[in-house]
Amino acid sequence: MNIKIGGRKDNILETHIQNQVLIKPNSLKDEITLNNILFNQRQEYYNLIKYIDEFLEGKNTNRYFVLPGIRGVGKSTIIFQIYDYLLNEKKYKRK
């Protein structure tokens, strides 16, 4: 969504995502722990890590995966755990 503000166009969604990427590493611990204890990682986490590692190594060219499920089953937690894995174990840096 582009909105004209003060004579310039701003893409609100793009700006929001860029801001979240900048601040999320600082609040990531809150998303994957409870009382400073890490949440357990489910089998789906390990399946996705394998898939992502293969992609980063060039063994898999598929860039998307689907993580279906009703609310409250842990989809967001798995995504935060993967984000933590990429930042802290793989030392992946955004280009």
Per-residue pLDDT tens for 41-50?
Answer: 788 888 889 9
Q: How far apart are CA 57 and CA 32, in angstroms?
A: 26
Report whether pLDDT(77) > 80. Answer: yes
Q: Taking the model in full, what pTM does it have? A: 0.62
Per-residue pLDDT band for 8 (boundaries 50, 70, 90) equals low
Average pLDDT, the chain: 77
59 versus 29: the higher-pLDDT residue is 59
Long-range residue pairs from 70-74, CB within 8 A, at least 24 positions apart, any chain: 74/42
First to last CA, the chain: 24
- pLDDT tens per residue, range 20-47: 777 766 666 767 777 777 677 788 888 8
